[in-house]
Amino acid sequence: MTGEDSHGSGDAIPETVYDRIFRLDGRRAVVIGAGSGIGREAALALAAHGAEVVCVDQDEAAAGRVAKGAGPGSEAYRLDLFDVEAIRRSAHDLGPVDVLVHTPAMNVRKRLLDQTPEDVRRVISLNLEAVYETVRAFGAQMQQRGRGSFIGIASIRAFTVEPGQGIYAATKAAMIQLLRTAAVELGPSGVRVNAIAPGVVETPLTEQIRRNAEWYDAYARKGALGRWAQASEIAGAVVYLAGDAASFVTGSCLMVDGGWTAVDGRYEPPP
């Protein structure tokens, strides 16, 4: 049955269905990594659309500042994602959650032969194991309640890499497959699980690149729009996946990359 058929011939769809599909009033959202970058903008955007937001970060002071900016009903919570027990405890402490946004990641920019075992362990621990534990902790309570939206921030590096980003890319690709599996396993309970893959975004994670003008410009030229994204430009995708506008979207990876993956490897011949 198509969406058109489901309403019957000539039936009008009530305008109220569309009036509020991006509203999140009455929903509780937890944003992990809310102290800065994409997490900060996601928290503010969700709050602007009516959600009660818990701003989670290892830097509780930074999370507190964002919570204050998000307005009444918002709060801060400290969480160390390298502490598995703390992740499990946070799901209990924070109570029922309708939306969970997981943003933190790290990248050790070294070629594979130059990386140390400790480099690899830390990247895998934060970028993959912490996501796994967060899915288990918060996905379990969403499953019990029969609803919820889990959103993980992946990367274009899950699909296209460059020298020096091998382990980071591997964890982001694995993260997407982990979230797709969670979508399949939790879907029958009414829980949706999706990923967002940003392109190059001006955040603390990319500060090293942005200090190098040649590197910065080269990355800007890679995308169809010819520029970097601001963290605020990822927030719209988070709001979309959080609420009713994406009620039939799960197991997906939404590309928000300024056309990077559409034109990657392009060659413009001389006139």
pLDDT in tens, 12-59: 556 667 889 999 999 999 999 999 999 999 999 999 999 999 999 999
216 is annotated as an active-site residue: no
Nearest CA to 162 out of 128, 119, 200 is that of 200
Mean pLDDT of 135-141: 97
Contact by Cβ (8 Å): 158, 176 = yes
pLDDT in tens, 89-136: 999 999 999 999 999 999 998 999 999 999 999 999 999 999 999 999
Domains of the chain: 24-255 (3.40.50.720)
Contact by Cβ (8 Å): 231, 202 = yes
pLDDT in tens, 54-78: 999 999 999 999 999 999 999 999 9
Given the residues 168, 216, 219, 267, the one annotated as active site:
168
How far is residue 103's CA from residue 197's CA, in Å, rounded to a whole number? Answer: 11
